[in-house]
Amino acid sequence: MKPLKIGVAGLGTVGAGVVKLLAAQKELIATRAGRPIMVTAVSARARGRDRGVKLDGLIWYDDAVALAHDPDVDVVVELIGGADGKAKALAEASIAAGKHFITANKALLAVHGAALARAAEANNVTIAYEAAVAGGIPVIKVLREGLVANKISRVAGILNGTCNYILTVMREEGRGFSDVLADAQKLGYAEADPSFDIDGVDAAHKLAILAGLAFGVRIDFESLHIEGIRRVSALDISFAQELGYRIKLLGIAEETEAGISLRVHPAMVPEQKPIATVDGVFNAVLLEGDYSGPVFLRGRGAGEGPTASAVVADLIDLARGICVPVWGMEESALEEARIVPMAELASAYFLRLMVVDQPGVLADVTAILRDHGISLESMLQHGRKPGEAVPIVLVTHETREAAVNAALAGIAALPAVLEPPALIRIEPQ
């Protein structure tokens, strides 16, 4: 049987992992794919670097785009990263050359996915991207194939292992954000520049892909509401535990009568819910189908093994001739997403204030909340420290985001309030 020949662009952790996996599981993969899958060409920036894999006999290209024009390459695997630059150029060149394209690049798909899908359909090739979202969790296959008969109403998940690790350690050890982030960098769980992770952008890229696939819409990435975890304090986590919640950075996409709500932000989740129990570097995704009901997926969201496993799963599909439309349907059938403004979100809220402990402060705060139509479910204040700074925690009933923001602006202006109030949304799931 004729082998499927692939070219791999990018030989970092994942790229080297793909080459290693294909060699280690050579016979098993050939049996399951119906034919051998072999690497014939590679591209990376530094030739002399030891990557722990044998590259003897492979054609090496300094320019990754050249892989698209190699007649001995059937499928291009892009593991470079980034929404633009070399990764985008390679995607466009591969598709134009009539080669199937596999990628782990969530930024590329979140920003340019619709245009690339149109090009792929025009050239009768497919784009496979199981590795782009949640590493070793087969959530793309579940949405595109397993739940294809369902109308999906909600996607929610822990989509970034770095943030989940930081929040887990903060909760378990009572340490502050900056301290835990520094340790995560030393352990290799966080990049030297962790902004994409801790500011929620990485999770947002993944959510945009899941939402487009789940709802059959074109997503404008700029329309997502994105918050990271920089402002989550050890104090917030402690109060959350006292109230029976755990704080997670969640990506949430919901289809409502008004449109689609797309948001990434820290959220309080009841501690007995499955997603609240997902700790460390693990990811999890909850899908709500009208016939399937809830489907919960949990696993490693990054790393050499899980991500390489997802890439090779896509390769085996292609070797078998399984080519699913990029977004689960023809690109022309996708609708433009109607995004619900964040101000219209209805939620319960955790509010933490740092105030000077003096008579009348709480009355002033509750008066402002009352004036904005916000009612309280509970309040926490530990002890008295007259004249000193103390935290007050307020938990609201469900209300509109716009009302909460307006109330917090008034509360922040009170002389006794010492710092901007902390706001964390409470998610029932």
Which CATH number does the domain housing residue 276 bear?
A: 3.30.360.10
The pLDDT tens digits of the residues spanning 295-354 come to 999 999 888 999 999 999 999 999 999 999 999 999 999 999 999 999 999 999 999 999
Q: Is the pLDDT of residue 383 over 80?
A: no
Within a domain: 58 = yes
CA 112 to chain centre: 17
Q: Is 149 found in the same domain as 256?
A: yes
Question: The pTM is what?
Answer: 0.95
User: How many structural domains compose the chain?
Assistant: 3
Catalytic residue among 88, 99, 206, 248: 206
Find the domain containing 218 and state its range.
Answer: 139-299
Within a domain: 327 = no
Within a domain: 125 = yes
Q: Is 42 found in the same domain as 16?
A: yes
How far is 340 from 257, CA to CA, in rounded Å? 10
Partners of 39 in beta bridges: 6
**b/e sequence 203-220, b meaning 16+ C-beta within 10 Å:** bbbbbbbbbbbbbbbbbe
The pLDDT tens digits of the residues spanning 195-223 come to 999 999 999 999 999 999 999 999 999 99
Q: Is 167 found in the same domain as 84?
A: no
pLDDT for 271: 95
Q: Is the pLDDT of residue 48 over 80?
A: no
More confident residue, 387 or 327: 327
Q: Is the pLDDT of residue 274 over 80?
A: yes
Which CATH number does the domain housing residue 86 bear?
A: 3.40.50.720
Evaluate whether 7 touches 43 at the Cβ level (below 8 Å).
Answer: yes
For 403, residues 6+ apart whose C-beta sits below 8 A from its C-beta are 372, 373, 374
Within a domain: 63 = yes
Within a domain: 326 = no
Q: Is 367 found in the same domain as 238?
A: no
pLDDT for 345: 95
How far is 277 from 223, CA to CA, in rounded Å? 30
The pLDDT tens digits of the residues spanning 123-155 come to 999 999 999 999 889 999 999 999 999 999 999
Question: Has 26 been annotated as catalytic?
Answer: no
Q: What is the mean pLDDT of residues 31-36?
A: 97
Q: Is 279 found in the same domain as 152?
A: yes
The residue out of 284, 299, 314 marking a domain boundary is 299
Q: Is 149 found in the same domain as 71?
A: no
Q: Is 262 found in the same domain as 163?
A: yes
Within a domain: 207 = yes
